A = this chain, B = another copy of it.
Amino acid sequence: MADAIDLAALVDAARSGQARAVARLLSVVEDGAAQLPEAMAALAGAGSGVPIIGITGSPGVGKSTTTNALIRVFRERGKRVGVLAVDPSSPFTGGALLGDRVRMSEHAGDEDVFIRSMASRGHLGGLAAATPQAARVLAGVGFDVVILETVGVGQSEVEVAASADTTVVLLAPGMGDGIQAAKAGILEVGDVFAVNKADRDGADATMRELRAMLTLGGLEAGQWRPPVVRTVASTGDGIDELVAELDRHQDYLRESGEGRRRRVQRAVAEVEGLVLGALRRRIDPERLQSLAARVASGDLDAFAAVDQLLD
């Protein structure tokens, strides 16, 4: 079945705007199908200038509402928008369990908007490899901007957030989010910050707390100073300001060379993830299992097991 895919035709169909073809290409990426190398080779070089915007933040800060609001602005500019939701708590993602599609995208009927949830398991090189590949597919088949929605809590999620060109960190008032974000290492990956739900009590305090934390880091001359904007994504308030900051950051990336540096860094993570995936598949599972059984019994320590496995 998988071998029956005519990749050249699929890429052509995806480029002509057929959503089903885009979806099938992304499935090739997600499943780590045999044609994955062929697909990536077919797309190499295309869309390398397409901005990848990361949206991250704790559950409940309004990531999906903000994503919807951003899609609206980009659509008004005539841009085709691709969205990858790698957030397990996103309403875009899964949600089949309880039929929870309540907050599902308002752009579902627009054929210039493509939204895809990414399964985080099973990919060759893990999420860190699958996500840039999927983003490259969307850029390569002609989307003008790619939005990457991730929950910024876990280790791998922070890594994924960091793999965007511009990362927006969302916070909301009264969630103690500022401190939690700082601990989770999320402040370091933010290029633009938005205090969403800014019509709620405590927004001023969250703005103050966030600005104080951002100042702690210090800045060198010529370095990007992450701006903080107030948004109410559900009404659209502040979204234009947010988009203006995204544009300003894209200019900075281009002019400073930082954009190029980030893309190389992302490629390093992607290639490294794929190499480790390839190496993992060379480990003999039966031998690993029997050595692990001895480690569990306490008659072998884990490092001795590693030495035996690497022999």
Contacts and interface: CB of A to CB of B under 8 A. Distances in A.
Contact of A127 (B89, B155, B184): B155
A298 B296 CA distance: 46
A303 B127 CA distance: 16
Interface stretch (A75-83, A226-234, A273-281): A273-281
A288 B306 contact: no
Contacts of A300: 44
Interface residues of A, number: 77
Contacts of A289: 264, 268
A244 interface: no
A301 B97 contact: no
The 7 A-B residue pairs with the shortest CB-CB distance in the complex, in nearest-first order: A154-B154, A45-B298, A37-B303, A267-B292, A267-B295, A153-B153, A44-B301
A299 interface: yes
Interface stretch (A106-114, A175-183, A196-204): A175-183
Given A98-B182, A267-B292, 14 more contacts: A40-B301, A40-B302, A41-B301, A44-B299, A45-B299, A59-B153, A89-B180, A97-B179, A97-B216, A154-B155, A154-B156, A271-B295, A271-B309, A279-B279
Residue of A44, A213, A298, A301 with most chain B CB atoms under a 10 A cut-off? A301
